[in-house]
Amino acid sequence: MRKQYVIGNWKLNGSRSQNAELLKKIQHHYVSDYSLDSNQVEVVVCPPTVYLQEVNAILRQGATDIKVGAQTASEYVTGAYTGEVSPQMLREIGCEFVLVGHSERRTLYNEDDAQVANKVASLLSEGLIPILCIGETLDEYELGETAKVVSQQLLSVIDEVGIQAFSKSVIAYEPVWAIGTGKVATPETVQSVHRVIRELLSEQGQAVTRDMSILYGGSVNASNAAQLFAQDDVDGALIGGVSLKPQEFTSICDTRAEKMTLKYNSA
Ligand code: PGA
């Protein structure tokens, strides 16, 4: 069965006190209202790097099984790379997931497909789970080039790491024009792109990619999540802005869990 995910990307937001408050509210929801079963919905939060260790410590003390992920990582293990953080360092402080190739990294920090592929290789070699972000720009969308763009982004990783990379990765389809804009892709569009992704990957190696989870990201909120999650090939969501709003974030997690067996606490 394909694993379901709800992943919160906090981006450049938060402070020690704000993080603690946000996590307290998220955890309280799960302790008082529902039990969150990570076998059914894996919930991951991705704070800024400097807070990863503390966020992980808070989460490990709580009763939920929410995991931490980093927003980026170096492709290098060690050396003269000022300002970088290696996959090994992230693993050492308890990080299990890392976003790779987010469109903000691609556009603002010029990360190209080759670098993204190297990062995926580097993360996998440290036993971390890459959350590979792919997606087209508005121009590409309007030109009808979505399938071509996402295929190219996937093939560049396959060329570098092999199809094997996808047995231990998560994919997030995030149309660039939908990120932080309030413009969500229609559920039908999302479903059709996810199908293209799944078919491309199974052509390359069906056994490896059978259980591959493909998430959607881009202006997901509590009102549109159910329709997106109703699509056959949507296995969860990568959430930016709304991941900082505890009530809305937990509502999206619950929506994803609803089709599974959400356990209500009786007390
Ligand atoms: P958004 O961001 O939910 O604010 O659109 C999504 C993302 O950047 O992953």
Q: Span 162-169, mean pLDDT?
A: 91
Q: Go through 201-217 and write b for each residue having 16 or more CB atoms within 10 A of its CB, e for each that does not.
A: bbebeeebbeebbbbbb
How far is the C-alpha of 164 from the C-alpha of 208, rounded, in Å? Answer: 6
Taking only the tens place, the pLDDT of each residue in 63-79 is: 788 999 999 999 999 99
Question: What is the predicted pLDDT for the residue at 267?
Answer: 40
Residue 241 CB–ligand 1 contact under 6 Å: yes
Q: Which helix (H) or strand (E) holds 9?
A: strand 4-9
User: Which residues are paired to 170 by β-bridges?
Assistant: 131, 213
Confidence of residue 250 (pLDDT cuts 50, 70, 90): very high
Closest by alpha carbon to 70, among 17, 123, 114?
A: 123
Rounded average pLDDT over 148-162: 95
Q: pLDDT at residue 261 above 90? A: no
Mutate to test the pocket of ligand 1, among 12, 45, 100, 174 (most ligand atoms within 8 A of CB): 174
Q: Is 174 assigned a catalytic role?
A: yes
Q: Which of 131, 215, 220, 228 to mutate to test the pocket of ligand 1 (most atoms within 8 A of CB)?
A: 220
8: Cβ below 6 Å to ligand 1?
no
CB count within 10 Å of CB 84 equals 14
Is 175 close to ligand 1, i.e. is its CB under 6 Å away?
A: no
266 — pLDDT class (breaks 50, 70, 90)? very low
102 included as an active-site residue: yes
pLDDT at 209 over 90: no
**Which of 102, 111, 194, 248 is an active site residue?**
102
